[in-house]
Chain A
Amino acid sequence: MNTRFLRAIVRKDLLTMLQNRGVWLPIVILPVILLVIMPLALILAPTAVNVNMPGSMMQQLDLFMRNMPDTLRQQVAGLTPQQTYVLLFTVYFFAPFFLIIPLMVSSVTAADSFAGEKERKTLEALLYTPASDTELFMGKVLTALAPALAVSWSSFILYGIVVNAAGAHIMGRLFFPTTMWLALILWVVPAAAALGLSVMVLVSTKVKSFQEANQIGGMVVLPILLLVFAQAGGLLYFSLPVALAVGAVLWVIDAVLIFFGIKTFARGELIARL
């Protein structure tokens, strides 16, 4: 594997993406909305109205907790309603939401790298270089994964600062990250990024433009929404074993999709479809 080829492909693709607002704008906006504005609103808005939570919200929280698994109820035993509320939303309910970030970033960058290259009619020149099919594929994989992990991990740090700062007066201590979040960041986030990438590699072979790839590939967030709904309905909550299991399932799906992705990324196949 010639690492110089990989670096050249990653550099080229990232430089191209930086010139394309349609690619980098959602990558910047989504984490800000999801990890700064939403948690701040959820923590500060109800508590700003009254130091004690309003009665109706208290009743709703009580009702909500009754639907939750016993293990989660044990986790929050002994906490005040406000502390329960903050912990519930920032630690447990935001976990599946967070996975949208690596998925979205990797699928957008992969769409630009694979389908965008085809749309801009630049792929042929790349295929005439000495880089092997595997080197070209790996270069493009890194192009999608590197920003996804960089954005996810820096978003995680940002989220940690935001929720600890906003919730400090309620929790009275640093309460984030938990062990589950560390597993999420180190095990599930790379798997989610790989999922966004591998789906987009396959989608890109069938479409002709970045937009088309994005529209079809965007459906990859649906399983994450299922996790959100499953948690809201009390079917599961994002504990450490659940995070590990979700990561394992994603890695298996990734392995299968990447296997097929590599098969489609052969010079002869690509050039015949130009």
Chain B
Amino acid sequence: MADFVIEAQGLTRIFGAQRAVDGLDLRVKRGEVFGFLGPNGAGKTTTVRLLNGVLAPSAGVMRVASFDPVRQGSAVRRRTGVLTETPALYEQLTARQNLLIFGELYDIDARQLPARVDELLRLFDLADRANERAGTYSKGMKQRLALARALLHDPEVLFLDEPTAGLDPAAARQVTALIEGLSKKEGHTIFLCTHNLTEAQRLCDRVGVISRGRLLAEGTPAELADHLWRGNWVQITLTGSPSEALLAALRAVVGVIDIKVDGTALDMRVDTIERTPALLRAAVLAGAEIYSVTPRRRSLEEIYFELQANGGAAEAEP
């Protein structure tokens, strides 16, 4: 049985006339990186606030690390770490002071705190400038320091709200690598709110796509693709344009749903990727000279935009 560290059912938060989060059902397994994808204003940050007991829900129930955030907010926050959308650092204080103060606020043993702070400063490559004011740091350094702060108490669940927003490509790459390390090496459960689909594709085991407070779909990228589009895609590139005889031979192969021709490339939709050897055999027998064969998986970007466009409904196209 799966061990869920985050569970929410019918989670709703209403601000005036606006339903910021609308009947959200969510389950996140221990140790996985769960991507929470959606455009700005979709309800991602509100969901993080609700799950951490910082904001009370208008309706619904939830449990985070086995505690109820509404009634046991403090217990939940002892087990979660949050990287907010802005680093929210005390810029007049040094990096070390920032971490020491938050270490006390997370009630880390006073005897262990200085060593833990040093360890994180080293891990996040900030040790050399630990005694400089955080306000003098670059955006990437501030984000690393904020990430170190979120990890001080070694939380069971790490909430990352747009961790690479506003960073230059090099800094974003560095932060993404750190997050990857936290999930792969350290086994943290990570709830990653982002609209950066490349980042999500690289980091996430499963994703949930949210729009206007509603969860449109949830699953692995492959599950979502299966839900949205029947079949798989195989692309064959030929040395020349395909003949009618070749196309007819390919259409005759069992399991072929559709074939699209784009110059020398053939995009073929098949019911299962296992049809690929039969397709190749048919093509060769029909006299085709094959340059390359690529089984094509739907990218998270394609899945995301399809979901946003269709509001979560499966594609009607065969």
Q: Which residues of A contact B (CB under 8 A)?
A: 2, 4-5, 7-9, 11-12, 15-16, 19-20, 120-132, 267-268, 271-272
Chain B residues within an 8 Å CB radius of A9:
105
Question: Could you list some 8 contacts between A and B, CB below 8 A?
Answer: A2-B107, A8-B105, A11-B101, A15-B93, A123-B88, A124-B86, A125-B84, A128-B54
Residue interface mask B63-80, A partner, CB < 8 A = 1: 000000000011101101
Given contacts A15-B92, A19-B93, A268-B54, 14 further A-B contacts (CB under 8 A): A2-B107, A5-B104, A7-B104, A8-B105, A12-B101, A16-B92, A121-B86, A125-B88, A125-B102, A128-B52, A128-B82, A129-B106, A131-B105, A267-B53
Q: Bound state CA distance, A132 and B53, in angstroms?
A: 11
**B149: A residues at CB distance < 8 A:** 125
Sorted nearest first, the 9 A-B pairs with minimum C-beta distance are A19-B92, A8-B104, A125-B88, A129-B105, A128-B82, A130-B77, A130-B78, A130-B74, A12-B101
Cβ contact within 8 Å between B90 and A130: no
Is the beta-carbon distance between B90 and A12 smaller than 8 angstroms? Answer: yes
Of the residues A4, A122, A267, contact of B54 by C-beta under 8 Å: A267
Select one of A120, A126, A127 contacting B91, CB under 8 A: A120
Task: Give the residues in chain B near A2, CB-CB below 8 Å.
Answer: 107
Asked if B253 is an interface residue, CB under 8 A from chain A, the answer is: no
B15 engages A129 (CB within 8 Å): no
Q: By the criterion CB–CB under 8 Å, are B77 and A271 in contact?
A: no
Category for how many chain B residues contact A: 20 to 34
Which residues of B sit under 8 angstroms from A20, Cβ to Cβ? 92
Interface flag for B89 (CB, 8 Å): yes
Are the CB atoms of B101 and A8 closer together than 8 Å? Answer: yes
Whether a CB of chain A sits under 8 angstroms from the CB of B273 is no
Residues facing A in B114-162 (CB within 8 A) are 146, 149
Q: How many A-B residue pairs have CB under 8 A?
A: 78
B97 within 8 A of A: yes
- B44: shortest Cβ distance to chain A, in Å? 14
What distance in Å separates the Cβ of B251 from its nearest Cβ neighbour in chain A? 58
Q: B residues within 8 A CB of A271? A: 49, 54-55
Q: Cα distance A267–B84 when bound, in Å?
A: 15
Given known A271-B55, A272-B55, contact A126–B105 (CB-CB < 8 A): yes
